[in-house]
């Protein structure tokens, strides 16, 4: 689906206090950016930001960073942040960037947990390396997570989920901890679950939600 360009998006992003502007200077500097040494959790492809902002509300002693590639989508997240419900959150920051650049933005161990929610499935085989759970991206995540750092992935796309399970199982330096093909019927894994916009939409249609949790060794 082609995204509609919103001309004012770039201006809002460049002036918003919660958007980190100079990503080249952020690597190794996240404690200073947040003003504390609390753990940092990262969502890649955060969309309109509902999951990330609700996580920040629920976990005030954790810092959250959201990456969104498309400025028009990030604009919608910033508009959500600026509402009464979220505008006082200080444990959150936003980045407008491509996920392929994360090694240039975060040092080894600066990110304690990575969330991938309803990522683009890139269904054609020739595009498999672009999937955010591919071995190529697992290598990138291993460069910013410490040993024991976690990856959590949710999707309604079962084929992508099966691909992801195999990529993690076969990737040296990773351990698949838990997974389910029906999150909302799995009491253990669904405990404390915060839904994304897509998750609420798909589950309301009766689509089961898949989830996995993996650890960098």
Determine whether the annotation assigns residue 124 to a binding site. Answer: yes
pLDDT on residue 3: 58
Summarize the confidence of residues 8-12 as an average pLDDT: 93
Summarize the confidence of residues 87-104 as an average pLDDT: 97
- Asked if the model's pLDDT at residue 61 lies above 90, the reply is yes
Residue 6 lies inside a defined structural domain of this protein? no
Q: Can 120 be counted among the known catalytic residues?
A: yes
Residue 27 lies inside a defined structural domain of this protein? yes
Range of the domain at 99: 17-216
Would the pTM of this model clear 0.85, i.e. be above it?
yes
Considering the candidates 37, 120, 139, 177, report the single residue annotated as catalytic: 120
Summarize the confidence of residues 164-169 as an average pLDDT: 98
CATH of the domain at 24: 3.40.50.150
pLDDT on residue 26: 96
Determine whether the annotation assigns residue 120 to a binding site. Answer: yes
Residue 33 lies inside a defined structural domain of this protein? yes
Determine whether the annotation assigns residue 159 to a binding site. Answer: no
Q: How far is the first Cα of the chain from the last one, in angstroms, to the nearest whole number?
A: 37
Residue 7 lies inside a defined structural domain of this protein? no
* Average pLDDT, rounded, for the chain: 96
Residue 203 lies inside a defined structural domain of this protein? yes
More confident position, 24 or 50: 50
Look at the chain and report how many structural domains it folds into.
1
Determine whether the annotation assigns residue 98 to a binding site. Answer: yes
Q: What is the 3-state secondary structure (H, E, C) of 68-136?
A: ECCHHHHHHHHHHHCCCCCCCCCCEEEEECCHHHHHHCCCCCCCCEEEEECCCCCCCHHHHHHCCCCHH
- Asked if the model's pLDDT at residue 109 lies above 80, the reply is yes
């Amino acid at each position: 689906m082609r995204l509609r360009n919103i001309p004012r998006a770039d201006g809002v992003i460049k002036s918003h206090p919660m958007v980190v502007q100079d990503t080249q200077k952020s690597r190794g500097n996240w404690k200073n950016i947040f003003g504390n040494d609390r753990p940092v959790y990262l969502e890649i492809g955060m969309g309109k930001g509902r999951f990330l902002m609700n996580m920040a509300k629920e976990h005030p002693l954790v810092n959250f960073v959201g990456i969104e590639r498309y400025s028009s989508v990030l604009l919608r997240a910033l508009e959500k942040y600026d509402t009464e419900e979220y505008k006082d959150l200080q444990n959150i920051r936003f980045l407008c960037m491509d996920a392929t650049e994360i090694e240039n933005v975060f040092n080894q161990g600066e990110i304690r947990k990575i969330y991938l929610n309803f990522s683009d499935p890139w269904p054609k085989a020739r595009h498999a390396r672009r999937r955010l759970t591919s071995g190529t991206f697992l290598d990138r995540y291993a460069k910013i997570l410490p040993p024991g750092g976690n990856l959590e992935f949710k999707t309604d796309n079962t084929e992508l989920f099966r691909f992801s399970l195999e990529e993690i199982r076969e990737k040296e330096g990773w351990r698949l901890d838990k997974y389910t093909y029906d999150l909302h019927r799995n009491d253990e894994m669904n405990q404390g679950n915060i839904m994304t916009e897509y998750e609420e939409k798909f589950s309301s249609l009766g689509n089961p939600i898949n989830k996995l949790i993996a650890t960098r060794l």
